[in-house]
Structure 1
Amino acid sequence: MPYRNSGKNATIQDERSRDFWVFGYGSLMWRPGFAHVETVRARLHGYRRSLCIYSYVHRGTPDHPGLVLGLDAGGSCLGIAFRVPGAMTDEVIAYLREREMSNNVYFEKWLPLHLADGRIVRALAYVANRHHEQYAGRLDAKAAAAIVASSRGESGPNIDYLTNTIQHLKNMRVRDHALEHVSDMMHEILARQKNGCKHSA
């Protein structure tokens, strides 16, 4: 008769088989807010990190929207994968839905994720809803920089959001050249505005 594992070890194996992965590409990378037992650098193909979501509250207003991150179709995105214990599935998914989907500007999707150690896993990710009124589309760097430079919401200036995001990414050894290009153009806009104020004084 073949040996069958039982008892505590079997329970541990069963729970591990129900573990799932979450992909973080923005603030989830450095402030996940949920329990996890493993973190691995990972790349998601088919989506890119982008300032493609208009912010009506935290970094802008309905009359003067700011921009925040979303996963938009095209390219690839380097981020962090979190393995969540299977026993906490309901709790963690409920938390993520409350955090990411309060206004339905993101879709919840299960997508193949390439981990840095060679594994390929299915991961939960939140991608931009292109049919939502707050979807900004594929803005060029100049247009995005102009919006960020001039917007402010309940959580402060949109400038701070972009600057903090880039700094956190760099701290985690993740470079996003597209975001950094927007930041460079934003600082050029602010410098011109500052010089213009000096000349008009």
Structure 2
Amino acid sequence: MVLWVFGYGSLIWKAGFRYEERLVGFINGYSRVFYQGSTDHRGTPDYPGRTVTLEPSHGEVCWGVAYKVSGEEDEQIALSYLEVREKQYDTKVYLDFFTDPNTTTPAVSGVMVYIGSPNKKLNPNYLGPASLEEIAEQIINAEGPSGPNRDYIFQLENALLEIGCEDKHVMDLANAVRKTLSEMKMDS
């Protein structure tokens, strides 16, 4: 048996488990959005950070990476690790993963994807949409055990650019964070 895991946030640059293969590609029908609250990694329960989740979006694609984990022991270790790391994401789906935008044949069928749903009963950390300025402000002020929330957005922006993806939402938000930080420096 083989496990495939799709990373569209911090998993792109930090898998945290042993894998046999890493493919750059995308899933269809979803957009990456900074709507998920993080009270365990990039924020605290009193001041949640913001991380990405996926939102169904007809006609959109979300680029990231898929990791192939082989062997029963490595699969169990990876799954145990991911269940802790991704515990604030309440939904797991299995989707087709593509590496070539010009084909309708997936490179991998059934890649596992963690999603933080907008259902507040199942996902109490869901923060939802807000203006770019509001999200940027929250990111600037949040910090958790994994470090400042601003590091997350800048690492995500860099990781996406390294795989050839210019995600408008991520880039606009990273620029808004940079602008606000620059203004804060000038004010002090």
Normalised-by-shorter TM-score class:
0.7 to 0.9
The CA deviation at 1:86 is: 5.2
Structure exhibiting the larger radius of gyration computed from Cα positions: 1
**Pairwise CA RMSD of aligned residues?**
2.2
| Partners of 1:145 and 1:22 in 2: CA distance | 29
| Partners of 2:179 and 2:83 in 1: CA distance | 37
Superposed CA deviations along residues 122-163 of structure 1, whole A, max 9, x for unmatched, are 211101122212111123322211211222223332222211
Picking from 98, 102, 106, the partner of 2:90 is: 106
Q: Which residue of 2 aligns with 1:65?
A: 48
Q: Which residue of 2 aligns with 1:184?
A: 175
The 3-state SS of whatever aligns with 2:64 is strand
Q: Which residue of 2 aligns with 1:84?
A: 69
Percent identity between the two aligned chains:
28
| Partners of 1:167 and 1:100 in 2: CA distance | 21
Is contact 1:37-1:84 (8 Å) kept? yes
Q: Which residue of 2 aligns with 1:174?
A: 165
Unaligned runs of at least 5 residues, structure 1: 1-17
The CA deviation at 1:166 is: 1.3
Residues 172 and 114 (structure 1 numbering): CA distance in 2 closer, same or farther, change over 3 Å?
A: closer
The 3-state SS of whatever aligns with 2:169 is helix
**TM-score in terms of structure 2 length:** 0.81
| Partners of 1:25 and 1:72 in 2: CA distance | 12
Q: Higher relative contact order by CA 8 Å / sep ≥ 6: 1 or 2?
A: 2
Is contact 2:24-2:163 (8 Å) kept? no
Residues 153 and 85 (structure 1 numbering): CA distance in 2 closer, same or farther, change over 3 Å?
A: closer
| Partners of 1:20 and 1:31 in 2: CA distance | 17
Q: How does 1:137-148 map to 2 (within 5 A)?
A: 137-148=128-139
* Counterpart residue type for residue 161 of structure 2: K
| Partners of 2:49 and 2:19 in 1: CA distance | 32
Q: Is 1:23 aligned to residue 9 of structure 2?
A: no
Residues 45 and 95 (structure 1 numbering): CA distance in 2 closer, same or farther, change over 3 Å?
A: same
**TM-score in terms of structure 1 length:** 0.77
Unaligned runs of at least 5 residues, structure 2: none
| Partners of 1:128 and 1:39 in 2: CA distance | 23
The 3-state SS of whatever aligns with 1:124 is strand
